[in-house]
Amino acid sequence: MRVLVINSGSSSIKYRMFNAEDFTVLAAGLLERVGEADSRLTHHWLSASGEYGETVYDRQIQNHREGLMLVDAALAESGSLGSLSELFGVGHRVVHGGEVFHKPTLIDKTVIEAIRKLIPLAPLHNPANLAGIEASMEHLPNVPQVAIFDTSFHQTMPQHSFLYALPYELYTEHHVRRYGFHGTSHQYVSKKAAEHLGKPLEGLNIITLHLGNGASAAALKGGRSMDTSMGMTPLEGLMMGTRCGDLDPAIHFYLWRSSGISNEGLESLLNHQSGLRGICGVNDMREIQHMADQGNPRALLAMDMFCYRVKKYIGAYYAVMGRVDAIVFTGGIGENAPRIRKGACKGLDPLGILLDDEKNESRSKDVFEIQRTEGSVRLLVVPTNEELEIAQQTVKKILPSTAEKS
């Protein structure tokens, strides 16, 4: 039996197919430029020899439904899916679930309409996620489908954590509050950390740092989110690849008055032209580190700012929880940039956060530790796997429903 995970963007479909029993990755791919003349699907599959092959399909794909049909064809041609009857379920990543969705949810017409009503909270993401869901529901009407929401993991935050200091009516009438994102990643790496430490997650206080082009921190107590850095939108919190992160809200009004920038221009500025790119012109941390090695002062500044923001959140969440058992680094930067991990931990020795320089330079596809032996806080690098988490949650959600129907 197979489970398919779909992450649908406005002009793309990213997917991964797992064996529903042992969660081996059987196939994966990315369809790009949906709706354009030069659409391309790059498909990888697990061969009988245990190695992955690659096939590229160049053809125009008009919409997401055509895209899913091409994905099905690629799965069939590569032998990853003999027939649709082998498909146990489909898991969909959905960015924003608001306060409506607290857990994985079987998709039906009511759920689709609820996701549609949440579009104002995530106008850049939810419409694309919904397009993938509707195409998949139309193409695979007899296959159970599950929505996994980025925001649902953070629904355990207490009111004093998720509310903004604004008139309370803005929350009750317009749903203005902190929602948090990257929930699937924070949940996955916290479970892997507990497994590595050999301790029950329920007894651990963990700070998880998902550091990539998008970045967020979370304070997890007993496996439950107590606070997280992203807010009502993914713009708040840490400095990111192209997003500014925390910002004095009065800057919006100042820029509007002094430069005449429009609301649309300001939104683009804060989301797409700020962060690392805004400081040094580049948002890829690998390139920034290379620039820094060449002595580029802006690149050095961008790295210092990035690490400083991460360090501030570590300190804040340490204070919030009172005790921290482990700090987890994950995401493209968190997993692969020892210099950033070192900068984020520098000067935190009094808190028991002592990074070992030699261990920090290690590379592994598995969980590994980077703290000195005398450190009281375990420092872990945990590769994230959001698709696997979605697949596992999808199977777990469908199984009881399957049992009820039988």
* 349 is known as an active-site residue: no
Per DSSP, 371 falls in state B
Catalytic annotation, pick one of 22, 58, 72, 150: 150
- The span from the first CA to the last CA of the chain, in angstroms, equals 17
What is residue 140's three-state secondary structure?
A: coil
Instruction: For residues 55 and 52, give the distance between their C-alpha atoms in angstroms, rounded to a whole number.
Output: 10
Across the 406 residues of the chain, what is the mean pLDDT of every consecutive 10-residue run? 92 93 95 92 92 94 91 91 87 94 96 94 87 91 95 97 98 96 97 98 98 96 98 95 96 95 94 96 97 98 98 98 98 97 98 98 95 97 97 93 48
CB 361 within 8 A of CB 165: no
C-alpha to C-alpha distances, 246 to 157, 204, 314, 396, nearest whole angstrom: 19, 28, 15, 36
Q: What is the CATH code of the structural domain delimited by 2-149?
A: 3.30.420.40
Q: How many CA atoms lie within 13 A of 122 on its CB side?
A: 28
Instruction: For residues 365 and 384, give the distance between their C-alpha atoms in angstroms, rounded to a whole number.
Output: 10
What is the per-residue pLDDT for 364?
92
**What are the structural domain ranges in the chain?**
2-149, 200-386
What is the per-residue pLDDT for 83?
79
pTM of the model: 0.93
Name the fold adopted by 200-386. Nucleotidyltransferase; domain 5 (3.30.420)
Query: Residue type at 374?
Result: E
What is the per-residue pLDDT for 401?
59
**Equal fold, 2-149 vs 200-386:** yes
